[in-house]
Structure 1
């Protein structure tokens, strides 16, 4: 290793990290407040003891007073360093009206120049902020990338801590990519990581879509309006088939956006006892109207059933998704049959179509986003369906052949058989 580089290695202070050179940009993920203090306090203690000017931009879950108290408790002679360290609230440091990466980077450089002119060897900083949506997250990522691009040539060490529960896979991977190295300090990191793998990566896609949906839909609405205006021009009648195709494609794009939004949009559940037969009866005319547009049909055969503890809006969404998928899979003349019954204290809902069936290799992955048999499908409708049913502890079975597909869904009865399920939703 270069002799000059070795001589200029800096003590990090964090037990499991070796000495590092100036210009190192560190990313850490922490679980709890104590995890965060276990990283940052020894990090600054090492900086103070090695003649570095220190700056801590404090953000959740700490405030400035808590951060100062932690430093005072861990560093017996902390009062002798009060001119060597500055603490800021993250809102004061990062934001005026919104994150301005150029301004903040310049502020770091100004602090570095002042520190060196005052006899310090460099600066040691710690800071991160929070993002509320995809736009602010993207701005923060751009800021971190700018820091990474310039920090290598500066007498600066930067630590950026992030709370695991505030991060999904999108943030986790994005932040790790633009730092020199990354570590996790958490008593049980796998509980966070498993949760991310199972759910967050797809929910984040929905959140991203929710943030930009209005920006996409506004121009789409304008384009559709102009196309409809052109449709009314007699001189352009020869292009009518093209206009119809364009409108169909715009509507398909809008449907995809709607599916993404159904993942992202938070909804307060209104869970009460409802009878599945009553929910289906109120939907039947709508389902049949959809089917008969394409010379297909939907029939309903109900048996006696107990009530189920659900939000009826979610159950309607499940039924709508299953029936429409069945209709899409069938040629003209096809029929989707919906049946209800009571079996072993469970309410059974069956939706059966006479379509082309679902291949076995697709069946095992149904309920995951982007798994679909449709040429232009996203699989998000089934993802939402499976998540809703899973939240009600309903069991889903599929029987499929080249003569059709039957979904068999078993709900626990609200009258008994699953008290944990009932209590959980009554208390919510």
Structure 2
């Protein structure tokens, strides 16, 4: 299954195999929408269960509105539950604490749910704007574990990081824990 290519929805990237785990550095809400809307549209149109975990600067309501404005039949995808758009508080900080084991188990449950319901796999995105410096090391270890878990599964994942909250060391950590990174340079998206 790993060799089966999936449409990323992102022109610069093209098709990727299951297990792809990459990141996006962003500066604005529009940067998030530019990448995540076509990413999720491709998943919805290609029989994937999608999960979008939002954080500032894009609320769940704004993400849903952006999806509805850009994706044909978005209302029907939302109504049938093919995409869930939830806040970081309800995913990463459930029970008021970041617990990597709980979150990894949650992704596994979402993947099992997707496969049991006839979807080809799970397409997800999580925004890390909520992440505080004191949680950085634990979150970095979690990102390493994701590679082991997702690399063997029908999962595509994009993690989004605000450049305003990352210093140079943080950027290096993030890039090391992902297969590749997207960032906007002089108005154009580029791969790192």
Given the two structures, how large is their TM-score scaled by the length of structure 2? 0.91
Residue 125 of structure 1: aligned partner: 124
| Structure 1 residues 193-208: aligned runs within 5 Å | none
Determine which structure has greater relative contact order: mean sequence separation of CA pairs < 8 Å that are 6+ residues apart, divided by chain length. Answer: 2
Secondary structure of 1:10 counterpart = strand
Distance 1:169 1:188, change over 3 A: farther
Residue 71 of structure 1: aligned partner: 67
CA distance in 2, matches of 1:79, 1:131: 31
- Would you identify which runs of 4 or more consecutive aligned residues in structure 1 move more than 3 Å? 186-189
Instruction: Specify every segment of 5 or more residues in structure 1 that has no aligned partner in the other structure, as ranges.
Output: 190-428
Residue 50 of structure 2: aligned partner: 54
- Please, what is the CA RMSD of the aligned residues? 1.5
Q: Is the 8 A contact 1:35 1:186 kept in 2?
A: no
Residue 26 of structure 2: aligned partner: 30
Deviation at 1:185, TM superposition (A): 2.6
| Structure 1 residues 262-341: aligned runs within 5 Å | none
Matched, 1:12 2:8: yes
CA distance in 2, matches of 1:161, 1:14: 14
**Structure with more of its chain in helix, by fraction:** 1
Figure out how many residues of one structure are paired with residues of the other and give that number: 184
Deviation at 1:97, TM superposition (A): 2.6
Secondary structure of 2:47 counterpart = coil
Residue 173 of structure 1: aligned partner: 172
Q: Is the 8 A contact 2:2 2:152 kept in 1?
A: no
Residue 93 of structure 1: aligned partner: 91
Q: Kindly provide the CA deviation profile for residues 307-358 of structure 1, in whole angstroms up to 9, marking residues without a partner as x.
A: xxxxxxxxxxxxxxxxxxxxxxxxxxxxxxxxxxxxxxxxxxxxxxxxxxxx
Secondary structure of 1:14 counterpart = coil
Q: Is the 8 A contact 1:32 1:186 kept in 2?
A: no
Q: Is the 8 A contact 1:128 1:160 kept in 2?
A: yes
Secondary structure of 2:12 counterpart = coil
Q: Rg: which structure is higher? A: 1
Q: Is the 8 A contact 1:28 1:159 kept in 2?
A: yes
**Structure with more of its chain in strand, by fraction:** 2
CA distance in 2, matches of 1:118, 1:10: 19
Secondary structure of 1:13 counterpart = coil
